[in-house]
Amino acid sequence: MIRVGVVGGTGYTGVELLRLLLRHPGITVSLITSRGEAGKRLDQLFPSLRGACDLAFTDPTKADYSGCEVVFFATPHNVAMREVPDLIKQGIRVVDLSADFRLKDVATWENWYGESHVAPDLCADAIYGLPETHRDAIRSAQLVACPGCYPTAVQLGFLPLLEAGVIDRSQLIASCGSGVSGAGRQAKLGSLLTEAGESLSAYAVAGHRHLPEMEQGLSGIAGAPVNLTFVPHLVPMSRGIHATLFARLTDASSDLQSLFESRYAGEPSVVVLPQGEHPATRNVRGANTCQIAVAQPQSRDTVVVMSVIDNLVKGAAGQAVQAMNLMVGQSETRGLEGVALAP
């Protein structure tokens, strides 16, 4: 059994990570920390864990990670960059679910997050935790920076098109919708059922922190700069991300269905739907899966890709466990075989 620790864990990403880790046959969760909830049992905060978990939160100042092979950070941004360097020095490997190490360009990070990065050197070392593009590097990584939820759905959707070089990189468009859990387990007015329920609205159109991460990733895939317009929407549901992607085809005669099917043939977490089907977020709820469909409406030169994930699983906790499995040499899908919960 591999011993792991979790830093943070009072948010939705945290409880989802625990849902997966507690049932992972090769893992033992040694400790989980929380500044605000130290001493409290986890199942008191999260009654969904009753009967499944006897752990209590540890005060982070008293946390001893020495027996842990891997430590997960399920914290807001700005925490991991302060604590990871010390763990790395101890030889403990880290899977960071926050945004601290996702951007290679430190100045860009500092610009979007409005503060100085205190571990800039680690940004260069961190491996981007998207197995579909960085599988081998993840295996030997000391520090994995897990992708954001929107970036996972968007990159997996554009990936085959950019690798094949069949779209105009200068005007990519991503119109995405997210469930409210993407806003975190925080008492915000805009996340109330009475505000977010029975409504659809865009947000952060002027600029969302996932934009530079997506442009970095897509440029890396394309091997050349890309230009992305990204509009996220708040959708009246708890979980799920749906990315609807648009690009102009440079070669309108490509067999797009085959392109997607062959690119993802061996990928355990990506399912390409048969031509003509539309993915729905409900079909991946709770599962570590991205379902994708591609279409070319009216046979014109605009391609449309639809890509769905559960933002808390393939968009966060599931992807983190997938990375951990690769790091410790387990089967990549171990502990992640749960079938989606529908309805």
Report the site for its own copies in 154-173 (rule: CB under 8 A): 171, 173
Determine which residue in the list 201, 250, 258, 262 makes contact with its own copies, applying CB under 8 A: 201
Tell me which residue has tokens 């690009």.
247
User: Is 123 one of the catalytic residues?
Assistant: no
CB of 153 closer than 8 Å to CB of 241: yes
Shortest Cβ 89–its own copies spacing (Å) = 34
- Interatomic CA distance for residues 246 and 162, integer angstroms: 12
**Interaction of residue 339 with its own copies, rule CB under 8 A:** yes
Shortest Cβ 336–its own copies spacing (Å) = 11
Determine which residue in the list 36, 89, 114, 206 makes contact with its own copies, applying CB under 8 A: 206
Hey, which bits of 99-154 come out as E strands?
A: 127-128, 143-145
**Interaction of residue 340 with its own copies, rule CB under 8 A:** yes
Comparing CB distances to its own copies, the nearer of 61 and 298 is 298
Dihedral angle computed from the Cα positions of residues 319, 323, 329 and 330, in that order, rounded to the nearest 10 degrees: -10
**Interaction of residue 200 with its own copies, rule CB under 8 A:** yes
The number of CA neighbours under 13 Å toward the Cβ of 92 is: 24
What x-and-dash track marks residues 235-274 binding its own copies by CB under 8 A? xxxxxx-x-x-x-x----------------------x-x-
The number of CA neighbours under 13 Å toward the Cβ of 308 is: 19
**Interaction of residue 56 with its own copies, rule CB under 8 A:** no
**Interaction of residue 112 with its own copies, rule CB under 8 A:** no
What x-and-dash track marks residues 210-229 binding its own copies by CB under 8 A? -x---------------x-x
Q: Which among 159, 160, 152 has a CA at the least distance from the CA of 178?
A: 152
Token duo for residue 327: 């790091």
**Interaction of residue 283 with its own copies, rule CB under 8 A:** yes
**Interaction of residue 285 with its own copies, rule CB under 8 A:** yes
**Interaction of residue 289 with its own copies, rule CB under 8 A:** yes
Burial of 342 (0-12, 13-18, 19+ CB in 10 A): exposed
Q: Which of 53, 68, 123, 149 is flagged as catalytic?
A: 149
Comparing CB distances to its own copies, the nearer of 51 and 91 is 51
Comparing CB distances to its own copies, the nearer of 155 and 269 is 269
Q: Which among 324, 281, 307, 320 has a CA at the least distance from the CA of 159?
A: 307
| Torsion sign over Cα 121, 125, 130, 133 | positive
**Interaction of residue 107 with its own copies, rule CB under 8 A:** no
Secondary structure of residue 10 in the 3-state scheme: coil
Residues marked as catalytic: 149
